[in-house]
């Protein structure tokens, strides 16, 4: 990887993270819904489409700009990596019913022309063990792949963004759910599970019911 490629790829990812975070912020949602009153229902689906399109330049660098492979899994490690990635992908699919996937992707809002999004405090079976299971699944899938230099740099930047982004995301959740989420933070780890910190089903139900 040339120095120029390094800075271009870093710039693309950082620009993506800034735009992604800005569009996800409540101030951006509120501005759009107040400015385009008859189009508020398309915000969520538009956000997801834009976020997907903006990934194309980085994916081009990773898969089509030649660079040396520096991590190549083989043998038992390849089997373990693929098995872990498959479990992570299955966990993602399983989690959609708790995230209300049609709302998350903005499909329900678009179809029914509503700006309403689910705002309930929910602790799914996965959230009893980590506060951000999607980030965990994404990290497993990312770090079990073969990597060239561009992919490794991208993986490092994405990992950093998950940790930094989750911090700001939780500030928003605390402002919305208050003490219940503060207590939840003290009992469940952020991304990586721990045998010492988790909620039983009964504890999760009790926490959800608190004022």
Give the rounded percent of residues in the chain with a pLDDT score beyond 70: 89
Would you list the domain boundaries of the chain?
A: 3-208
Q: What's the pTM?
A: 0.85
pLDDT band at 141 (very low <50, low <70, confident <90, very high): very high
Distance CA 47, CA 94 (A): 23
Distance of CA 78 to the CA centre of its chain: 25
Which among 64, 59, 68 is positioned nearest to 16, based on CA atoms? 59
* Cα→Cα distances 37→52, 122, 124, Å: 25, 29, 33
* pLDDT per residue as tens digits for the range 145-195: 999 999 999 999 999 999 999 998 898 889 888 889 999 999 999 999 999
Q: What phi and psi, each to the nearest 5 degrees, are found at residue 31?
A: -65, -45
The helix (H) or strand (E) run that includes residue 147 is strand 147-148
pLDDT band at 31 (very low <50, low <70, confident <90, very high): confident
Distance of CA 183 to the CA centre of its chain: 22
pLDDT of residue 78: 94
Alpha-helical segments (H) within the chain: 3-24, 26-35, 43-53, 56-64, 75-99, 101-104, 107-112, 133-143, 149-177, 179-187, 201-208
Long-range contacts of 52-61 (CB under 8 A, 24+ apart): 54/16, 54/19, 54/20, 55/16, 57/12, 58/9, 58/12, 58/13, 58/16, 58/154, 61/5, 61/8, 61/9, 61/12, 61/150, 61/154
Residue 71 has pLDDT above 90, yes or no: no
Which among 142, 165, 139 is positioned nearest to 14, based on CA atoms? 165
Average pLDDT of the residues of the chain: 87
* pLDDT per residue as tens digits for the range 119-129: 678 889 999 99
Give the count of alpha carbons within 13 A of 64, CB side only: 5
* pLDDT per residue as tens digits for the range 43-57: 888 888 999 999 999
DSSP 8-state symbol, 100: T
Residue 118 has pLDDT above 70, yes or no: no
């Amino acid at each position: 990887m040339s120095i120029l490629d390094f800075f271009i790829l870093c710039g693309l990812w950082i620009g993506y993270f800034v735009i992604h975070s800005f569009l996800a912020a409540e101030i951006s949602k509120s501005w759009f819904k107040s400015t385009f009153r008859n189009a508020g229902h398309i915000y969520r689906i538009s956000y997801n489409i834009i976020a997907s399109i903006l990934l194309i330049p980085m994916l081009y660098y990773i898969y089509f700009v030649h660079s040396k492979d520096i991590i190549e899994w083989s043998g038992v490690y390849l089997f373990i990596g693929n098995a872990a990635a498959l479990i992570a992908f299955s966990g993602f699919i399983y989690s959609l019913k708790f995230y209300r996937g049609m709302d998350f992707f903005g499909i329900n809002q678009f179809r029914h022309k509503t700006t309403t999004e689910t705002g309930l405090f929910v602790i799914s079976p996965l959230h009893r063990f980590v506060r951000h299971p999607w980030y965990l699944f994404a990290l497993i899938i990312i770090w079990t792949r073969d990597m060239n230099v561009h992919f490794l740099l991208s993986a490092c930047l994405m990992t950093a963004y998950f940790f930094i982004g989750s911090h700001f995301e939780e500030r928003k959740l605390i402002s919305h759910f208050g003490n219940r989420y503060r207590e939840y933070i003290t009992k469940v780890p952020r991304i990586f599970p721990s045998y010492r910190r988790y909620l039983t089903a009964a504890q999760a139900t009790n926490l959800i019911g608190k004022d």
